A and B are shown apart, each in its own frame.
Chain A
Amino acid sequence: MQGESAGETGSSAELTASKDDYLASSSEDSSTPDELALGLTLGVGDSRLFKSPRAGPVILTAKDLPSFVRASSSPPPPPPPLSASSSSSSSSTLSRAEGGAGTKRGADSVAAPTASSQVVGWPPIKSHRMNILVNTAKSTSTGEFDPIIEKNDSKLAALEKINNVRHDESGNSMKVLCPKTSLFVKVTMDGVAIGRKVDLNAHQCYERLAETLEDMFDHPTTKVNATRSNRLTHHGSAGATRASKLLDGSSGYVLTYEDKDGDWMLIGDVPWRMFLNSVKRLRIMRTSEANGLGSTELYSQFSET
């Protein structure tokens, strides 16, 4: 090891790129507007976040991209979070799918500043703090403690809304209390082609949510909103006595949700507020598909009425 200095020098001479060589080759590889946008594909919906030079989302296929981009043969990731934060497993998906392309683009375009929002792990803020930032920004407008971490899609929307709110209030020193914002998540049901959306923040517990969902999918043309559920609870014990078919397993379906780690979980195990923290979307799944989870004992905590 020590005595091979000649060989070492030789190999490092081969590997050495002089400054000029590098600069020449980097100008060959230097980014075009196409490449600036290349990290932004693969299912990203919100073009507002990724401000590509051209208007609207840019869909690039493998053949649009120069050869240094790895041709992706892996299945497209689930709707990825838009920011490099909060959920580490979905963001490692993000970094796999986008980070390579995105950050490589960053390396090549040293001369052209790229927007910080397009890059994984940048700015270097700890993922734990990301969650706190959202809560801080959100709570100053809601005026109440609300530990809900905004769904990643609407996180930036919430922040932008807060910024607008802030501007309006610049004259006041006190924060104005605004109504709680909504937390809409997608709901799909096995066998039903068209999905729905439900505002989780308008519900107080699993039972209310299940009722809303049953109404939604039993009467698909009915525009169901949360106020209907609220009316039920206002009518005294009406809410408590109506046992939810979804929750007690008698309907042949189980209610599941995808959490921030990308795992599909059964509804009802964790406290409601914690569920709100981690839910990304809902799925009403046939019990036969739920891998043997469809026994009626499952939701025993809901059938105690």
Chain B
Amino acid sequence: MDPKKSRDSAESARAAQFPDEVLERVLSLLASHKDRSAVSLVSKTWYNAERWSRTRVFIGNCYSVTPEIVARRFPNIRSVTLKGKPRFSDFNLVPQNWGADIQSWLAVFAERYPSLEELRLKRMTVTDESLKFLALKFQNFRALSLMSCDGFSTNGLAAIAARCRNLTELDIQENGIDDNSGDWLSCFPENFVSLEVLNFASLSSDVDFDALERLVSRCNSLKVLRVNRTITLDQLQRLLVRAPRLTELGTGSFLQDLNAHQYSELERAFGGCKNLHTLSGLHDATALYLPVLYLACANLTFLNLNDTALQDEELAKVLVHCPRLQRLWVLDTVGDEGLEAVALNCPLLEELRVFPANPFDEEVNHGVSESGFLAVSYGCRRLRYVLYFCRQMTNAAVATIVQNCPDFTHFRLCIMNPGQPDYVTNEPMDEAFGAVVKTCTKLQRLAVSGLLTDLTFEYIGRYAKNLETLSVAFAGSSDWGMQCVLEGCPKLRKLEIRDCPFGNAALLSGLEKYESMRSLWMSACKVTMNGCEVLARERPRLNVEVMKDEESSDGQAYKVYVYRTVAGPRRDAPPFVFTL
């Protein structure tokens, strides 16, 4: 038998041993979408097996693909995750009506995925009409998660509550929505029992508490409950006794005049929650009422205190009861002393986020400084995720911090005064971030701040070989800085830049790079329309979008958003968005 024939027959023998159904079955066990992407590249057979077996799709940029293309490739989708606007829209850098409207997607899904079960959206525009459409067209719909979305009101939520008979999850987070009234909660039918996740913490209006209480009573599988601020402590107590199996709880207001009986009832209610691993809310909590929590904190792994302005002693008292804490979010009212308490009490801590209570207050004697961060690094050696807002920092402190904690994967440091140097040496903060990228080899996400020259970006390009996301503001000296990053970071996917002196040369140095990235954002930099036009001409598979101010007429490209796409130029772009 000649070698080619034997090879062929060996292959077909293999293929016969491995029919498509088996391959599909095996591949259906793959969960991660990155794994699935890799699998789909192996061969045509594997591509097809993968696409038929995929039930969950993640689309990181809704304009990178059209819903028709998605539906054509994946016929059996049950769960869709979509992200829309660029991240800087969270900080009002993207005008209203920019786009990312879910309706065009829903229209296609109604036809091609009538059995759609889950929809998870981030930074999309969702109107009430879309929510009503969703409730009407998808009989199997089970889970809706809206994070940082806008365009809808509680009327849309009422439609979901009223019609989605099999709803298990309603998760409304941090959205800019019209809160017309809390009546939407009463729209859940009396025989509706399937809810497992309910999060309405970010809504501000009163809800019908009786309806909520009845809902919690009859939904025996409820695991996650995050109420809003209008729910009082005694109301919370009534909810807790009906939902002792909660694993995640977000309380309402923690400030109320309770008598001794109410207090002990509340304490007992918390004591009944043996499975709690996540706690948030606690609005206006004070030393007076925090102790009711202590019985529930034994298994707590995530404590979110960024809605309550605790002082250091109050925090310390709470943390003593949370030995297993892995994630902690606090306001900087706890001060450096509070962070020392963290270091003392939370040896298992992996994630720390410190938010500023008074971000526009320029007095330095508020908030946290480098010494708090240092303290935490000595006590919590497992730290891998930090988001830290502060008013002063030194290169030396950061160098020590990353020596103590070399496993950082996410390092987001925000020195709140733009362009502020090391306050001891008055030097740029280049060496701080140099130390971060040299020492933390697993670093995936980095946000820089303070006074930074191109040297920072040289360091990043040279050492940050696993970096995927980089956020830069008020930094750099010349095009060279951005060039270093674009040429040096092989895994870079998202680059967002504002107010930096990077111009056309920097922009164009990434010509070879952008198609391997999800997106690039540059605003208030030195890029001009000419540079953008060159980029657009050289790379037709990128969308190069420029948002212009009405006043700008001098060729300045004020806001530039570049992303790879197979969908071509946007068909729904508003008048202020120019696709070149």
Contact = CB atoms under 8 A, between A and B. Distances in A.
A137 interface: yes
Contacts of A192: none
B338 to A, nearest CB: 14
Contacts of A71: 551
21 contacts: A1-B539, A68-B554, A70-B554, A72-B551, A84-B92, A88-B150, A89-B96, A100-B552, A106-B474, A116-B362, A117-B360, A124-B414, A136-B283, A137-B309, A139-B284, A143-B255, A147-B230, A163-B358, A163-B366, A270-B181, A274-B180
A140 interface: yes
Contact of A107 (B287, B288, B500, B530): B500
A195 to B, nearest CB: 28
B538 A8 contact: yes
Contacts of B398: none
B478 A116 contact: no
A169 B137 CA distance: 57
B205 A74 contact: no
Say which size band chain B's interface belongs to: 35 or more
A52 B283 CA distance: 35
Interface string B325-339: 000000100000000
A267 to B, nearest CB: 16
A107 B255 contact: no
Contacts of B253: 145
Contact of A147 (B229, B288, B311, B356): B229
A89 B92 CA distance: 9
Interface string A218-246: 00000000000000000000000000000
Interface string A4-39: 000010011001111100110010000000000000
Nearest to A112: B419
Nearest to B331: A136
In the A-B complex, the 10 residue pairs with the smallest Cβ-Cβ separation, listed nearest first, are A121-B91, A70-B551, A103-B524, A22-B478, A16-B505, A15-B504, A113-B419, A128-B174, A117-B360, A91-B92
**Residue in B420, B504, B531 whose Cβ sees the most chain A Cβ within 10 Å:** B504
Secondary structure type dominating chain B contacts = loop
B392 to A, nearest CB: 11
A88 B96 contact: yes
B551 A73 contact: yes
A256 B434 CA distance: 57
Contacts of A72: 551
A54 B174 CA distance: 39
B549 A100 contact: yes
A277 interface: yes
Contact of A110 (B357, B362, B477, B509): B477
Interface of B: 88, 90-93, 95-96, 148, 150, 174-176, 179-181, 202, 204-206, 229-230, 232, 253, 255, 283-284, 286-288, 306-309, 311, 313-314, 331, 355-362, 366, 389, 414, 416-421, 451, 454, 471, 473-480, 498-501, 503-505, 508-509, 511, 523-526, 530-531, 534, 538-540, 549-554, 558
Contacts of B524: 99-100, 103-104, 106-107
A51 interface: yes
B550 A74 contact: yes
A85 B205 CA distance: 20
Contact of A115 (B176, B283, B417, B549): B417
Contacts of B366: 163
Contacts of A115: 362, 417
B478 A19 contact: yes
B92 A123 contact: no
Size bracket, chain A contacts:
35 or more
A139 B454 CA distance: 44
B473 to A, nearest CB: 7
B505 A15 contact: yes
A110 B505 contact: no
Given A145-B229, A145-B230, A147-B230, A116 B531 contact: no
B91 A17 contact: no
Interface in A95-128: 95-96, 99-100, 103-104, 106-117, 119-128
Contacts of B500: 107
B501 A26 contact: yes
A70 B552 CA distance: 6
A189 interface: no
A128 B553 CA distance: 33
Contacts of B508: 12, 15
Given A125-B355, A274-B180, A113 B418 contact: yes
Contacts of A55: none
A95 B284 contact: no
A124 B473 contact: yes
B479 A17 contact: yes
A17 B283 CA distance: 52
Interface in A54-80: 68, 70-74
B551 A96 contact: yes
A121 B307 CA distance: 20
Contacts of B311: 173
Nearest to A132: B307
Contacts of A96: 549-551
B503 A126 contact: no
B286 A70 contact: no
B503 A125 contact: no
A116 B392 CA distance: 13
A11 B357 contact: no
Contacts of A145: 229-230, 232, 253, 255, 283-284
Contacts of B473: 122, 124
A163 B286 CA distance: 17
Given A110-B476, A123-B359, A163-B361, 12 more contacts: A19-B478, A22-B478, A26-B477, A85-B92, A95-B95, A107-B526, A113-B418, A121-B88, A129-B174, A145-B284, A174-B287, A274-B205
Contacts of B95: 92, 95
- Among B181, B524, B549, which residue has the most Cβ atoms of chain A within 10 A? B524
A124 B451 contact: no
B418 A116 contact: yes
A93 to B, nearest CB: 10
Contact of A111 (B148, B283, B309, B451): B451
Contacts of B284: 136, 139-140, 145
